[in-house]
């Protein structure tokens, strides 16, 4: 008898799709959303037809990259909330969120501005914020997080982190890690003095 079970996508097609998404994510972060689909194809080492077969439009590709990024953000907050040590989980969320924003280099804001109606992520966003609030409550109850911390403080952290300007993505990540470490020390209810990550080389030009 012939087995008529549905066939799964070919592994090479799945590999191509994931490679296109990875390249698109890095390229959008580096060059902005105006980068051509042909440039995405060239960097992913596939033909333009392959890109369009998976993502018929530029909006479809950008939306899928944003969806993946939102899923990664949700996952890191869920991981922090599941940590048996709420303070450790809270610190991990701050560190990983700052690093994600450093790698992102404004992609999320550009997506929302360019495609305001492409996807409704309000439910996911509200769930993430609720989980962060619960994690902060637990860290406060454990006596590790300063009692006057509010969610708006996290917004300020990410806004400030997004303002880091460096000469390379690697330098941005290094600077973001140090920035996160400094902030975490300021958020402790009982400040400690652990060593900071290595300093990053930054342009010594400040516009006031």
Assign residue 47 the CATH number of its domain.
Answer: 1.10.10.60
Question: Which pLDDT score, from 0 to 100, does residue 203 have?
Answer: 62
Question: Which pLDDT score, from 0 to 100, does residue 39 have?
Answer: 94
For residues 52 and 64, state if they share a domain.
Answer: no
Measured CA to CA, the distance from residue 103 to residue 22 in angstroms comes to 12
Question: Which pLDDT score, from 0 to 100, does residue 115 have?
Answer: 67
Question: Which pLDDT score, from 0 to 100, does residue 38 have?
Answer: 94
Per the CB < 8 A criterion, the answer to whether 155 and 174 are in contact is no
Q: Which helix (H) or strand (E) holds 54?
A: helix 48-54
Question: Which pLDDT score, from 0 to 100, does residue 1 have?
Answer: 43
Measured CA to CA, the distance from residue 23 to residue 127 in angstroms comes to 29
Query: pTM of the entire structure?
Result: 0.78
For residues 115 and 155, state if they share a domain.
Answer: yes
Question: Which pLDDT score, from 0 to 100, does residue 192 have?
Answer: 63
What is the number of structural domains in the chain?
2
Task: Give the position of tokens 């920035």.
Answer: 179
Question: Which pLDDT score, from 0 to 100, does residue 64 have?
Answer: 92
Per the CB < 8 A criterion, the answer to whether 31 and 62 are in contact is no
Measured CA to CA, the distance from residue 138 to residue 81 in angstroms comes to 9
Angle at 201 between CA 87 and CA 157, to 5 degrees: 35
- Please check whether residue 194 lies inside any domain of the structure: no
Measured CA to CA, the distance from residue 166 to residue 203 in angstroms comes to 7
For residues 49 and 68, state if they share a domain.
Answer: no
End-to-end CA distance of the chain: 77
For residues 85 and 171, state if they share a domain.
Answer: yes
Q: Is 85 helix (H, G, I), strand (E, B) or coil?
A: coil
- Please check whether residue 208 lies inside any domain of the structure: no
Per the CB < 8 A criterion, the answer to whether 137 and 147 are in contact is no
DSSP 8-state symbol, 148? T
Looking at the chain, how many residues does it have? 208
- Please check whether residue 155 lies inside any domain of the structure: yes
Question: Which pLDDT score, from 0 to 100, does residue 57 have?
Answer: 92
Task: Give the position of tokens 């006057």.
Answer: 148
Question: Which pLDDT score, from 0 to 100, does residue 207 have?
Answer: 43
| Nearest Cα to Cα of residue 157 among 136, 137, 139, 143 | 136
Question: Which pLDDT score, from 0 to 100, does residue 167 have?
Answer: 79
- Please check whether residue 205 lies inside any domain of the structure: no
Q: What residue ranges of the chain have pLDDT lower than 50? A: 1-2, 5, 7, 206-208
Question: Which pLDDT score, from 0 to 100, does residue 108 have?
Answer: 74
For residues 116 and 45, state if they share a domain.
Answer: no
For residues 138 and 52, state if they share a domain.
Answer: no
Which residues form the domain of 34?
A: 11-56
């Amino acid at each position: 008898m012939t087995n008529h079970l549905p066939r799964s996508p070919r592994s090479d097609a799945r590999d191509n799709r994931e490679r296109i998404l990875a390249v698109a994510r890095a390229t959008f972060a580096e060059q902005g959303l105006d980068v051509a689909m042909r440039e995405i194809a060239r960097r992913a080492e596939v033909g333009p037809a392959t890109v369009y077969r998976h993502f018929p439009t530029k909006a479809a590709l950008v939306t899928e990259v944003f969806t993946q990024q939102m899923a990664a953000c949700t996952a890191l907050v869920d991981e922090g909330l599941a940590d048996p040590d709420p303070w450790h989980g809270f610190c991990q969320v701050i560190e990983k969120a700052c690093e994600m924003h450093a790698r992102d280099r404004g992609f999320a804001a550009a997506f929302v501005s360019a495609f305001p109606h492409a996807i409704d992520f309000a439910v996911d966003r509200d769930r993430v914020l609720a989980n962060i609030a619960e994690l902060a409550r637990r860290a406060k109850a454990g006596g590790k997080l300063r009692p006057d911390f509010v969610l708006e403080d996290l917004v300020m952290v990410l806004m400030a982190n997004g303002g880091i300007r460096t000469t390379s993505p690697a330098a941005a990540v290094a600077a973001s890690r140090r920035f996160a470490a400094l902030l975490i020390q300021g958020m402790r209810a009982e400040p400690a003095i652990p060593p900071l990550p290595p300093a990053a080389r930054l342009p010594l030009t400040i516009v006031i």
